[in-house]
Structure 1
Amino acid sequence: MSRSRAIRVAATSARLVTGGVVIVACVAGIAAAVHAPWPSISHDAAQMQVTPLPGDSVLVCNGDLRALGRDAIDPLSMSSAARPTVTLGGTSGDPASEGLAVKDVPDAGEVRVLTGTVEGRTAPLIAAAESVSIATEDLAGYAAAPCGVPKLDSWLVGGSTATGTEDIVILTNAAEVPSTVTLSVYGETRSARTVIVPARTQTAVPLTSIAAGNTTPVVRVGAVGAPVRAVLQSSLVQVLDPAGIDLQDAVAGPQENLVLAGVQVFASAGDDAEMAVLRVLSPGVDARVQVRVRAEGSSAVVDEFSVPVEADLPAQVALTGLAPGSYTVDVVSDAPVVAALREQDGFGRDSDFAWITPAPEIEGDVLFAVPSGPAPRVQLANTSDQDVTVTLETSDGGLPEEMVIAAGESLGVEVDPGATYRMRTDGSIRAALTLTAPGAIAVSPVQASAGVEKAITVYP
């Protein structure tokens, strides 16, 4: 073999060996790259916490207690049965007040709209509550309710169309434009009705006119054009004797975890199946609801049971076997529900009842008004797993009272009727006002104060 040929053979062999090495290296690199973590590119959206500039604080009251059916010629006509007593206050003095028209009740008094005007960049906290007591041939009892914020969507969980009941859906529009309100009834039969509520007026609809045949109705109130304040006025007659009245504020919407604070169980000489009754509705889907009852001052569960709830069909269950006293009722569901509890202190003449709606979570600074009435108390319920400190003082500068609510427990505190209180908390709490005497019951949850603006997250 010539020298040049040998050199070419050697060069070719070297290239083959080098190529094989390169191929093996590439395969190994690819295999390693497949199993190795790849570099990632992430980008966090710019965001910032912004507290909106507050607007004026506005509360809408309910006005006169209405009587239905006193005119035998026109049984659906309404008249004024009693004027309420109003308690109000604010951190910058009493809020401004103006009246709304009540065109369907010619002899009615004014419906108050209360406004706390923004000062600089701060809106004052305002609060107000109404109460009424009556004893006539067709209406007797005591009722109280806070003045509230109008809503575009709300629910009335309570009332009945059974014999002896006279329930009224009251709609108040404090805006400068009309509101078109759709009342959608959930029950054994579904129905709906549209009502036009003119600007700055109040109107009312008998519950029987929209929910006939439903013994356990739930009404969704949907407003277009302007928000409305919806209230359910209930009254009961048993064996020709008036047996109580109530004013129930609408709730905001379905939730999976509801807390009913300020529930009271009264002694009963007979069957206690009607003394405390829970009504639950799951809109659109079936739900499984777990109910837990805790006595005031204890975290122990004294009663617990499960309730299957069919979609769009209200379920009602009695809380039986409970000793007389004050309780907190937790309603936990696997789907959003609305709920309310009806309590009563007896039967027939000299008895009364009240519908109790869920108490929302409140935290920080809250102002609430205690209506005029018998033996008012505020029940503070701590459903969290940490102790919460609550400071309570009258808005006129009274001495503050500080208390610690243990995790999972509730505490009742006496308050003064006709006073306005400022409450500060260092954690989440739920609260309800109770006013109780023989033949007089009212319960209302404490709401977050009008005028408080929460920070929101803005993504530029």
Structure 2
Amino acid sequence: MTGTRAFRVAATGARLVTGVVVAAACVVGVATAIHAPWPTVRHEPAQVDVTPLPGDSVLVCNGDLRALGRDAAAPLEMRAAGTPSLTAGGTSGPPAAMQLAAPDLGQDSGPQVLTGAVEERSAPLIAGAESIAVAADDLAGYAALPCGVPRLDSWLVGGSVATGAQDIVTLTNAAEVPATVTLTIYGATRSTTTTVVPARTQIGLPLSAVAAGEEAPVVKVAAVGAPVRAVLQSSLVRVLDPAGVDLQDAVAGAQQNLVFTGVQAFAADGDDAEMTVLRLLSPGAGTTATVRVQREGSSSTVDEFTVPLDADVPAQVSLSGLEPGRYTVEVDAEAPVVAAIREQDGFGLDSDFAWATPAPEIQDEVVFAVPSGPAPRLQIANTSDQDATVTLEPLDGGEPQEVSIAAGETRGVEVEARTTYRMRTTGAVHAAVTLTAPGRLAVLPVQASPGVERSITVYP
């Protein structure tokens, strides 16, 4: 073999070896790439947490108690039956007050609107509560009610149009424009009534005029144009004796879990089936509600049962058999429901009753007012699985106090009448103020304070 030919063979062999190596490397590279994570292109959405600028804190009070039928020639005509005393306060001092009109009572002045003005981009926490005791031939008892936030949608769970009941729905519009309000009555039959509430005005409607024939109605209040404050005034006359009066706040909407604290059971002479009664409604869908009753100071359940609910049909069940004392009642339902509990301390003359609405969950700082009334007491329920400590501080500079509530328990603490408190808690709790004496009952759930703004996440 010549030298030139030998060189050509060697060069060709080198190229073949190099090709094989490169091909093998490509195969290994492709195999590795298949199993290795591929680079991805991801775009995280832009987002920012924003705390809205607060507006003025506004609460609407209910004003004068109303009486029906004092003029025999006009049985549906209303008259003022007494002006309640008002307790109000706030973290920046007493809120400003302005009166609205109540033309159907023949008065130029009506309920008050409380306003806490924004200062340096911060809204003060404010609270107010009214109370009144009456002793007339047609109206007797004690009633108390916190001043509340007007809403576009709310529910009144209570009242009756049975013989002796003289219940009134009051609608208060604190806005500068009229509100068109539709009342939808849920009962054995369903009906609607629409009315207009003028700007800065309160009107009253006899429940018997909008819910005729319904002994256990539930009323949905839907407003267009401006939010309204809806309140149910209930009173009862048995034979010829007045047997109590109450003011009941509307609830914001249906929920699957409701907690009632501040519920009281009283001794009864004979059948106690009407002493403590729970009314429920499942709007839009049938469901089953589980009711658990727990005594204050104990984590054990003293009563538990289920209530089947047909869609849009109110149900009423007795919480009979409870020993006299203070209780927390929890309602868990498979679908959202609205509910309220009616308690009474007797029958006939010198007795009284009160409707208790659900106490919302409190996690933030709140301010609440304790009105003038007998033996005021704050009952605090901790339905969570974590212990909580609640601090109560009078806004007038009194000595603060701490209350420890074990997980799953309820505790009560005495508070002062005509005093506004700041309440802080280390965990989620439910609370209500009770005022109790023979022939005088009221239950005021502690509400979240207006003016508290939470951060929201904004996605541009």
TM-score w.r.t. the length of structure 1 is 0.92
Q: 2:3 matched to which residue of 1?
A: none
Secondary structure of residue in 1 paired with 2:378? strand
Query: What's the CA shift for 1:288?
Result: 0.4
Relative distance call for 1:339 and 1:45 in structure 2 (3 A) is same
Is 1:373 the counterpart of 2:373? The answer is: yes
Distance in 2 (CA, whole Å) between partners of 1:403 and 1:349 is 38
Distance in 1 (CA, whole Å) between partners of 2:458 and 2:326 is 43
Summarize deviations over 1:86-145 as a string: whole Å, max 9, x none: 001111111111110101001475310111011111111111000010011000000000
Q: 1:309 matched to which residue of 2?
A: 309
Summarize deviations over 1:386-440 as a string: whole Å, max 9, x none: 0111100110111110121111111101000111111111111110010000000
Relative distance call for 1:39 and 1:323 in structure 2 (3 A) is farther
Q: 2:12 matched to which residue of 1?
A: none
- Where do residues 200-279 of structure 1 align in structure 2 (5 Å cutoff)? 200-279=200-279
Query: What's the CA shift for 1:230?
Result: 0.3
Q: 2:288 matched to which residue of 1?
A: 288
Summarize deviations over 1:132-187 as a string: whole Å, max 9, x none: 10011000000000000100000000001111100000000000000000000001
Query: What's the CA shift for 1:338?
Result: 0.3
Distance in 1 (CA, whole Å) between partners of 2:219 and 2:36 is 59
Distance in 2 (CA, whole Å) between partners of 1:356 and 1:37 is 61
- Any stretches of 5+ residues in structure 1 without a counterpart? 1-17
Give 1:168's aligned amino acid: I
Query: What's the CA shift for 1:39?
Result: 7.3
Q: 1:121 matched to which residue of 2?
A: 121
Relative distance call for 1:260 and 1:42 in structure 2 (3 A) is farther
Query: What's the CA shift for 1:247?
Result: 0.2
Q: 2:459 matched to which residue of 1?
A: 459
Query: What's the CA shift for 1:36?
Result: 9.6
Is 1:326 the counterpart of 2:326? The answer is: yes
Q: 1:84 matched to which residue of 2?
A: 84
Secondary structure of residue in 2 paired with 1:104? helix
Q: CA RMSD in A?
A: 2.0
Q: 2:405 matched to which residue of 1?
A: 405
Give 1:71's aligned amino acid: D
Summarize deviations over 1:31-66 as a string: whole Å, max 9, x none: x97x99887665442222211111101110000000
Is 1:348 the counterpart of 2:344? The answer is: no
Q: 1:153 matched to which residue of 2?
A: 153
Distance in 1 (CA, whole Å) between partners of 2:406 and 2:89 is 30
Secondary structure of residue in 1 paired with 2:105? coil
Relative distance call for 1:322 and 1:39 in structure 2 (3 A) is farther
Query: What's the CA shift for 1:213?
Result: 1.2
Aligned residues: 437
Contact 1:395 1:421 in 2 (8 A): yes
Query: What's the CA shift for 1:444?
Result: 1.1
Distance in 1 (CA, whole Å) between partners of 2:62 and 2:108 is 11
Give 2:235's aligned amino acid: S
Secondary structure of residue in 2 paired with 1:350? coil
Is 1:391 the counterpart of 2:391? The answer is: yes
Contact 1:79 1:108 in 2 (8 A): no
TM-score w.r.t. the length of structure 2 is 0.92
Secondary structure of residue in 1 paired with 2:104? coil
Give 2:350's aligned amino acid: D
Distance in 2 (CA, whole Å) between partners of 1:39 and 1:214 is 68
Q: Deviation above 4 Å: which 4+ runs of structure 1?
A: 35-43
Contact 1:293 1:329 in 2 (8 A): yes
Relative distance call for 1:36 and 1:259 in structure 2 (3 A) is farther
